[in-house]
Structure 1
């Protein structure tokens, strides 16, 4: 028996069927459209309901009908699949680097802060100290391998994204959590709220082994707060943090939800199977309940793959046209 559901996708919250209603908004009666627009406006930070009345983003009291009308265009334009809103995908292009070999016809002299100078230098480089913080480096004529900063046009500029203005990490005490993990934590809380059950009461009536969580990410936590930042720390010149490795695991949502959201010591796990990850985890939960091994199971998955690296990795074999007319494409199953 499914007693609750929660989470947010590009159309809105799963609980209360908000996301479904967004996809069929044009077919809804006017009153239902207004209610949907107001709920999405609240989710996106365009308005709020307090003290028995609606308020706009500036805190001014407005009628429900006026707020819905004011927010309608923005709500419709900034939900579902749309142009990627990450500023790195703007017209200037994605930040990147290009390898180059410079042929120096004469000495190259430059100044650099001491902390920015590599620990190991070529034997032919000469370094002179100018003060405690600044060094002068002389490079002799010859070949010099460098990385030149550049921007590259994004091959894909549209994707399904969370509604604009909604950030799951703002709804709890998040400290550098990967986005996929933040989405899972919000979804679990939303699910418990929609169930109408008090989790503490339910947990106290169950043995720890009768509770399980199956949740994960099909693509892992590959943004800068997870393994994405960890894997490129050397080439980007940034330090790896103590959280990137543990929080980057694909099954981390299950472990985190079980320990810190549910406060449980029951079973956890995750099956990572690309677009079918949720269905695989759902099967685990169903099998546990049918066998009598568990009495309460939370199942879910969340992915946050809208990063330059992941988008560009999918582009060469995606079934949609890209910005390069000559690029071939191959169908894929997601």
Structure 2
């Protein structure tokens, strides 16, 4: 019987705040939650943003609102971006003179330079023209972005010296995830062998700031210095490497499966396959992305993908862009908004989750991945997403039945570009018609947290888990109408929060959809915790579930206690560099097993020929 991968923990951070404790989700639906329900989230964000106050009053809440979600970029100043322009300098007498330190002279002195030493310096006289780069301050055409909450630097919570921003987000997100588990990691490992853990995590863009790839590539032209860490830390799989080495100390399966903006779902697919095939019993899946870098954004801007300020102004007939409403999925829009995010989830096989009493937030039925085949251009949408959405919906029907299928909903890719609103709405609408869904609820949370590239579906998943806690599907509050060219005869594109029961019990499943650059399409079916427990009860029986519920009481209390501590600003960052390092002295190999001193259980070695039927 196929094992069911269940979600037992989650964590991270995006423009809406911390993921565990459902805080980022609550920030998105703050206008429909009570003051009491929001108190812990406002407090959590206040600590994270450095808003020290005796009480969370209206002024503090307004500061939090202004410093979260999609807003004006705050990781660089869009009005004063450093730019260098080429120039050829000359003078009336055809001579230019200046002074340099000897150490700053070029290795090869140009023929038209005359040098005169003066102590430790050199007077340079140039005969003719001098080629130069002149620094200037320019205004970047895009001022909207979705940075993590203003003032929050996860690197201050651990020894993050020279770490790229994306890796800081990775360490924070993975720590937040582990803190949400309610179980000591050593206790989890005591129930499995150390190789029954998988970590699939990465970044679709790689690490690209001044501490990694961007700094390394720019160094020759900016007089910068390339450090020994820059190259290593630029790799796209580095989030997985950091988690294995410094957060979990794991020797299990590892890697990242990249698929542009569908990368999180690609990694999720890897994880659930490991569980279903018995290759792993515990899987960490996640991504981290810090793409709000001007040089990178310029690449997307010249493609016509980003919401430029002048386009937003034209939409609204104003002189100033409305940064808060910059991302407008399925309405008249101007492009997508870059977002920062790190999202991680812990999956276990169903038997282990019950054995340990872990919190069960839902389960992942399957993830479908299909390419676009031949198309007009590599960036154009194609037919692959019809395949993934149809497969995911057909599976939902098979598991839930016709009636419950009507109450599922879709987390659309919903980028906010004119092309996406037409193509994705047509896909969703055709699938809805095919399966007899009359009014399929569709939301797009990039309107809140921007487009975090490879993490985008992770943002969707975290929001989906929140629906099964507080009952509201977040609506697309940045739009006031659906564009005329959107296909929606069988869709209910939500422009307001949609209530599906106090704990979302009216909705048994959600489809997460992602459309990646280059033809990387993925759609995943996630089942509610109520449906998951009902399935487990049928498989294992009432007694097993009763015993699980009893074991879960302590775990659930620990999860709440950890969240309360983090809300008060007291959270544990899991980062152990150079501690309990194993080497060859810690390895003991026998023909049937391999033992490592750092782990309780030995790793069994293969003893049977899996291809004996071929021999």
TM-score (norm 2): 0.49
- The verdict on how the C-alpha distance between 1:191 and 1:149 changes in structure 2, with shifts beyond 3 A counting, is same
In structure 2, C-alpha distance between the alignment counterparts of 1:308 and 1:285, rounded to whole Å: 33
SS of the residue corresponding to residue 98 of structure 1 reads strand
Q: Which residue of 2 is the match for residue 249 of structure 1? A: 235
Match of 2:108 among 120, 123, 135: 120
Q: CA deviation at 1:87?
A: 4.1
**Do the aligned residues in 2 keep the contact of 1:43 with 1:166 (CA within 8 Å)?**
yes
Q: CA deviation at 1:331?
A: 4.1
Q: CA deviation at 1:308?
A: 1.3
Q: Is 1:130 aligned to residue 118 of structure 2?
A: yes
Alignment of 1:55-66 (within 5 A): 56=53, 62=54, 66=55
Q: Which residue of 1 is the match for residue 299 of structure 2? A: 313
**Do the aligned residues in 2 keep the contact of 1:96 with 1:149 (CA within 8 Å)?**
yes
Moved more, 315-324 or 14-23: 315-324
Moved more, 183-192 or 118-127: 118-127
Q: Which residue of 1 is the match for residue 77 of structure 2? A: 88
SS of the residue corresponding to residue 88 of structure 1 reads coil
**Do the aligned residues in 2 keep the contact of 1:125 with 1:139 (CA within 8 Å)?**
yes
In structure 1, C-alpha distance between the alignment counterparts of 2:265 and 2:107, rounded to whole Å: 49
SS of the residue corresponding to residue 109 of structure 1 reads strand
SS of the residue corresponding to residue 228 of structure 2 reads coil
Q: Is 1:168 aligned to residue 157 of structure 2?
A: no
Note the aligned Cα RMSD (angstroms): 2.1
Alignment of 1:76-225 (within 5 A): 76-89=65-78, 91=79, 93-104=80-91, 105-132=93-120, 134-140=121-127, 142-225=128-211
Q: Which residue of 2 is the match for residue 23 of structure 1? A: 28
In structure 2, C-alpha distance between the alignment counterparts of 1:188 and 1:85, rounded to whole Å: 24
SS of the residue corresponding to residue 164 of structure 1 reads coil
In structure 1, C-alpha distance between the alignment counterparts of 2:143 and 2:266, rounded to whole Å: 30
Q: Residues 30-60 of structure 1: CA distance to partner in whole angstroms, max 9, x if unpaired?
A: 211223211211221213xxxxxxxx2xxxx
Q: CA deviation at 1:144?
A: 2.3
Alignment of 1:249-288 (within 5 A): 249-288=235-274
In structure 2, C-alpha distance between the alignment counterparts of 1:324 and 1:236, rounded to whole Å: 31
Q: Residues 220-255 of structure 1: CA distance to partner in whole angstroms, max 9, x if unpaired?
A: 100011111111111111011111100110100101
- The verdict on how the C-alpha distance between 1:321 and 1:172 changes in structure 2, with shifts beyond 3 A counting, is closer
Q: How many residues get paired?
A: 314
In structure 2, C-alpha distance between the alignment counterparts of 1:116 and 1:200, rounded to whole Å: 55
TM-score (norm 1): 0.88
Q: Residues 187-222 of structure 1: CA distance to partner in whole angstroms, max 9, x if unpaired?
A: 111111101010122224432321111001111100
Q: Is 1:38 aligned to residue 43 of structure 2?
A: yes
In structure 2, C-alpha distance between the alignment counterparts of 1:310 and 1:73, rounded to whole Å: 31
In structure 2, C-alpha distance between the alignment counterparts of 1:44 and 1:173, rounded to whole Å: 19
Greater Rg, structure 1 or structure 2? 2
In structure 2, C-alpha distance between the alignment counterparts of 1:76 and 1:146, rounded to whole Å: 45
Moved more, 307-316 or 241-250: 307-316
In structure 2, C-alpha distance between the alignment counterparts of 1:130 and 1:95, rounded to whole Å: 33
Q: Which residue of 2 is the match for residue 52 of structure 1? A: none
SS of the residue corresponding to residue 294 of structure 1 reads coil
